[in-house]
Amino acid sequence: MTRRALLFFSAGLVFVLALGWAGFPRLLYARAEQPLRFSHKTHASDKAGLACADCHPLAEDGRFAGIPRIDNCAACHTEPQGETTDEKRLVEEYVTPAREIPWLVYSRQPENVRFPHAIHVKRAKIACERCHGAHAESDALPLHETNRITGYSRGLTKMSDCESCHAEHDHERTACLACHK
Amino acid sequence: MTVTRRDVLWGLGGGLAGAALTPVPWKLLDDTAIWTQRRHALPVPARGPVTLRPAACTLCPAGCALRVRCVGARPVAVVGEAAHPLGGGACAIGLTLHHLAGHPLRLAGPAVRGGGRLEGVALGAAVARVAAAVAQARTDGRSVMVLDRRPGRVVSAAWGELLAALPRGLYATPSGEGETLDVLQRALARPALLGIDLERTRTLVSFGAPVLEGWGRPGRMLAVRGRLRVVQVDAWRSPSVALADEWVAIAPGGEGPLALALASVVARERGVSLDEETRRVLGASSPRDLAPITGVRPERIESLAGALVREAPAVAVGGGDAGGGPLPADAERAVALLNVVLGSVGREGGFVARRDLPGSCVPLAPTRLADVPASSVGVLLLDGSDDGRALPWPIVERVLAKDALVVSLAPFDGAQAREASVLVPGPAPLAAWDEVLPTPDAAVASYSVAGPILKAPEGATDPVAFVQSLAAALRIEVSRGTHEERLRERVAAVHAAGRGRLVARAEGGYDDAPASDANAAWETLVAGGCWIDEAAPSADLALRPCVPTGEAVERWRYPAPGAEGLALVAFAARGTAGTTPPSPLLTKLYQESDLRQPATVAAVGALAARRLGLVDRQPVRVEGPRGVVRAELRIDPSLPPDTVALAAGPDPAALHPGAGAAAQGALPVVEAASDGTWRGTRVRVREARA
């Protein structure tokens, strides 16, 4: 390969690498902002003193509450708890009219999959951070990214994540229908 | 710099190499795989408020209490009520109850069958056709018969009212699990209802009844199992055998002789005073006399009888398997006699008197199907209720006159409904009012009501409404109340009796909930409560002699020389061989695994396979006196050498609807005996050639 050929080959390589790693994800995922700015850090701080399960509880029968409903927010936010625009909007647009906040859910599984939180949290005693990351330390919610082809959220737990964790915990032989409906 | 074509090609080459190092091709391959899914066919679970609603499983007489998880209006899961006072939990069949409204064999509305095809008709036209056939049967002097698999319901009363107004109305029921109780009840000097005081029984001997699999109320059996010794008498290693404390392996048909041989030893050991006839029968039925036909050594019979005497109170039950059908009448009499000599009738831990349900509505005494004269029925109305047990068509066909009209009210086009010319489907399970009566073995009466959770389709006809329509077409006066109104009347009668206790669902279990009036009792029952009677006061349970016929004893003592072929051991789990097809999504039990032997498999012992020159998993033909089915051979070392075990259900056509499955399983090959049993069937098993 001559020097000139190497130059054009490298240029093509670098261009496509840049396009593939930087441009492709922007093309593949539709980004959307959450309806409100929400700080997990503030809520989990010593001042508010909330644990994950205070807003995302597991019911007695094992059902997971998921994203808290507006009633949960209303328990503390009947009046604005600060002076930010989002706090004002929370009270005026959602808490007062008792309207649910249309949160975009990062972890909504496809319809053919079920994930029982109760077994993982109560029996296997897996910390929330193991799958959801250090959400409690984030000051703002990241953009919600939806895969334009599959329609799934980018933050979705992948089957490979489940498999590797199950392998770690000696549960490689979990049957298909344990997770797939 | 001039860019040449060669430069562009090098650039493209670099780009291609670079693309392989980016997520683009791999991610696109992964994500576009979703386009291979038939997305329009993927079920989309409902979203909405989650509620838990009470229900009852009506696929068999156990009537297990259920909680149905609904998302919005759609039931998405069923669980058994673990803490129910009559015995909690539910079987795998019951847990798929909510699938049945969408079963592919579900009928959408009235239809008539002609040339093997179903043609939808209006309800009025279907009723008119049935009414014309009833009028013709009256003219021809033939019977109009209703076959009810769950007698004693308000629907049964509606049938009774209609039949009472017809000159030859016949209300019939097939044999069920309570055969031993029936024999004992018929032998009582004073009529009384009997139940089994299972909570205080020490030993239970089951002659082929699936007592540890699906018999009586399974939750009750689970509750008492810890302190109950179970001896299972079976010709094959049935699920109850696998769970029992002791298995007495017998030759097929050996139940009656074994019970009689045991009775002779027990009578001797206990020094029971016997009437002349019983003494004569038992005198000719020593273990040595009957051991050859039972396939059990005389010493084993002696030791088992000794154990029954020592471990009293002991109870023996027959009744048979859901697929194998009832024991012959003489075998049931032998089992009843064993109970008599054990002193189990009228004692704690044995057979005790039970009071009837208040407001019981059986205006006509049910006739046993086996007692209906042959070729006497001009119109057969198959009630839509299910007992979960097999009923081979030849047993029913025997009573039909030539050109008889068969009408089915079952919600599905399966089992006997396939033989019907007119189909008026009732609502599917969970879509109709229904009631749960005590199981035959229950020591006290009980009652609960289940309301509809699903909306029935337009074409579904409530059985009470059908009876009223038919009565109107025949100009017969019957009560006007709807199904719900009749259930309310019955609850009012239960409440007015002023006995027993009402329990209501409460946090974590059930609590007593006395009702101030009939309306309050109704509300409690509809909300998942239950009425439980108190124990009956001690009653005179003196018995008349109850022994097998001399002819049967002779036959057992001197069996005919070896018959040709293999003895057919038919079996099925309760709920898989009745009128309701199981859910096609019950995949784990039958389609994907060998947890249960499906109706497509014929099992023989290793010796029989060798003698027949057959190998494991080979396609075979099972040839019976009335038909032939194809199956896959499996070698089961637990089977006696001259038997073949073949499931009577579930029907492969129900599990694989639309796949064009040919008739399979035991039912197409069984031979019906005159007493309504099919245990004596002998078949040939041959290699199936393509």
| pLDDT for A60 beyond 80 | no
Same domain for B202 and B161? no
Among the residues of B123-178, which ranges form H helices? 123-140, 154-164
If asked whether residues B345 and B363 sit together in one domain, one would say no
Q: Is residue A90, in this structure, part of any structural domain at all?
A: no
Short-list A78, A96, A109, CA closest to A181: A109
Query: What is the helix (H) or strand (E) element at residue B24, kind and residue range?
Result: helix B24-32
Beta strand ranges found along B5-82 (DSSP E): 50-56, 65-71, 74-80
Question: What is the residue range of A166's domain?
Answer: 29-67+103-179
Minimal Cα–Cα distance from B64 to chain A, Å? Answer: 21
Residue A146 forms part of a structural domain: yes
Based on the fold, state whether residues B301 and B372 are members of the same structural domain: no
Q: Please tell me the distance in Å from B1's CA to the nearest CA on chain A.
A: 11
Bridge partners (DSSP) of residue B645 are B569, B603
pLDDT tens-digit map of A121-147: 888 888 888 888 888 888 999 999 999
Query: How many beta carbons lie within 10 A of that of residue B635, not counting itself?
Result: 18
Look at A10 and B14 and tell me if their CB atoms are within 8 Å: yes
Same domain, residue pair B188 and B245: yes
CA-CA distance, B271 to B266, in Å (whole number)? 8
Q: What is the pLDDT of residue B657?
A: 63
B301/B422 same-domain check? no
Torsion of CA B253, B258, B264, B266, to 10 degrees: -150
CB contact under 8 A, A16 and B14: yes
Q: How many CA atoms lie within 13 A of B226 on its CB side?
A: 2
Q: How would you class B529 by CB atoms within 10 Å of its CB: exposed for 0-12, middle for 13-18, buried for 19 or more?
A: buried
What is the mean predicted confidence (pLDDT) over A46-55? 86
Backbone angles phi, psi at B412, to 5 degrees: -125, 155
Evaluate whether residue B324 is within a structural domain. yes
Specify if A20 maps to a domain: no
Smallest CA–CA distance, residue B54 to chain A, in Å, is 16
Domain-embedded: residue A83:
no
**Chain A hits for B13, Cβ within 8 Å:** 9, 12
- Answer whether residue B455 is part of any domain: yes
Please report whether residue B541 resides in a domain. no
Give the closest-approach CA distance of A139 to chain B in angstroms.
30
- Which of B532, B547, B573 is where one domain is finished? B532
Are B261 and B382 contained in the same domain? no
Q: Which ranges in B550-681 belong to alpha helices (H)?
A: 550-557, 587-590, 606-612, 652-655
Place of tokens 């054009």: A8
> Are the C-beta atoms of B352 and B211 separated by less than 8 Å?
no
Q: Is residue B673 part of a domain?
A: yes
| Chain B residues touching A8 at Cβ < 8 A | 7-8, 10-11, 14
> Has residue B451 been placed in a domain?
yes
CA distance B480 to chain A (A): 44
Count other C-beta atoms under 10 Å from residue B267's C-beta.
23
- Co-location of B36 and B131 in the same domain: no
- pLDDT recorded at residue B482: 95
More confident residue, B591 or A56: A56
CATH number (domain holding residue B652): 2.40.40.20
Q: Which residue of B has its CA nearest to A147?
A: B31
Give the residues of chain B that fall short of pLDDT 70: 43, 361-364, 562, 657-663, 690
Based on the domain organization, do B190 and B160 belong to the same domain? Answer: no
Same domain (yes/no): B510, B481: yes
* B184 and B161 share one domain: no
Chain A residues close to B34, C-beta within 8 Å: 149-150
Helix H or strand E segment including B620: strand B619-623
Backbone dihedral angles phi then psi of residue B294, each to the nearest 5 degrees? -80, -30
Q: DSSP 3-state assignment of B319?
A: coil
Chain B interface residues (partner A, CB cutoff 8 A):
6-8, 10-19, 21-24, 27-28, 31-32, 34, 42-45, 50, 588
- Entry pTM: 0.81
When CB atoms are compared, the residue of B10, B31, B50 closest to A150 is: B31
Residue B468 resides in a domain: yes
**Residues of A near B (CB-CB distance < 8 A)?**
4-6, 8-17, 19-21, 24-25, 28, 63, 111-112, 147, 149-150, 177, 181
Task: Identify the pLDDT of residue B652.
Answer: 78
In this complex, do A16 and B18 lie within 8 Å of one another by their Cβ atoms?
A: yes
**Residue B463: which H helix or E strand, with range?**
helix B463-473
Q: Where are the alpha helices (DSSP H) in chain A?
A: 3-18, 24-28, 40-44, 52-55, 70-74, 85-89, 117-118, 128-132, 159-168, 176-179
Domain residue limits at B579: 560-687
Tell me what pLDDT residue B148 has.
95
Residue type, position B529, single letter? G
Cβ proximity of B81 and B66 under 8 Å: yes
Instruction: Give domain status of residue B597, yes or no.
Output: yes
How many domains does chain B fold into? 4
User: What CA–CA distance (Å, rounded) separates B210 from B663?
Assistant: 25
Task: Give every CB contact of residue A161 below 8 A, 6+ residues apart in sequence.
Answer: A131
- Specify whether B10 is located in the same domain as B30: yes
Q: Residue A12: inside a domain, yes or no?
A: no
Tens-place pLDDT, residues B429-474: 999 999 999 999 999 999 999 999 999 999 999 999 999 999 999 9
Assess if residue B548 is contained within a domain: no
> Is the same domain home to B152 and B215?
no
Is residue B81 within 8 A of residue B41, CB to CB? The reply is: no
Rounded to 5°, angle at Cα B154 from B150 and B159: 80
* Domain count across chain A: 1
Helix (DSSP H) and strand (DSSP E) numbers for chain A: 10, 2
So what's the pLDDT on residue A173? 79
- What is this model's ipTM? 0.84
**Residue count (chain B):** 690
Contact criterion met (CB < 8 Å) for B10 and A19: no
